[in-house]
Amino acid sequence: MASARVKGWVELDSNRLTSSQVEAMLSDDLSRASRFGGEFLIEWNGCKARDHFGIMAGDCPPGTVLCNGKEVGKVDPAYPLMDLGEAIEIAVGLRSDEGVVALSGGVDSALVARLAGLECVVVGASGSHDISRAQQVARELCLPLEQVLIDSGRI
């Protein structure tokens, strides 16, 4: 099998996969792509697969597996039933290997920042409520915070 080109990230059963793992799975059984979750466009051996929601841009319809231009399958991962807290922890964990968290200081962004444990960034005008709340939350969570100030005249 020629090497698979993976744009984005792929998960299976709540485990993030490496490009090598994706390639091995697809060389073994093309239909395994139908269970992949994540945000991806995979290209291999004249085939393509794109994530279920079409988050990753590509020349393949969302949620489709194409080989030589013909649809050979659908990408429709079956997620197990779980409580909301567990689902949020898994979702954040799958996306927390790199990057930063946009922190407004509100409940949602504070929860994601705490679970991800990544550097945070807040964007706003000097003296804005978002910046002061984000500073307070970042301090309480012991997370680094980068502040990007926007000139209020440019808003």
**Digit-coded pLDDT (tens) for 62-72:** 999 999 999 99
Closest CA to 33 of 92, 45, 111: 45
pLDDT tens string for the chain (155 positions)? 568 899 999 999 889 999 999 999 998 788 889 999 999 999 999 999 999 999 999 999 999 999 999 999 999 998 889 999 998 898 888 887 788 999 999 999 999 999 999 999 999 988 889 899 999 999 999 999 999 999 877 76
Tell me what pLDDT residue 48 has: 95
Q: What is the CATH class of 84-154? A: alpha beta
21: which residues sit within 8 A by CB, 6+ positions away? none
- Cα separation, 8 vs 37, whole angstroms: 11
Q: Where in the chain is the domain with CATH 3.40.50.620?
A: 84-154
Tell me what pLDDT residue 151 has: 85
Tell me what pLDDT residue 99 has: 84
Dihedral (Cα; 2, 3, 9, 12), 10-degree rounding: 60
Q: How far is CA 60 from CA 63, 64, 65, 127, in A?
A: 8, 7, 8, 46
Query: Do 94 and 16 meet the contact criterion of CB atoms below 8 Å apart?
Result: yes
Tell me what pLDDT residue 2 has: 62
- Cα separation, 49 vs 62, whole angstroms: 8
Tell me what pLDDT residue 12 has: 92
Tell me what pLDDT residue 1 has: 56
Q: Which residues pair with 50 in a beta bridge?
A: 41
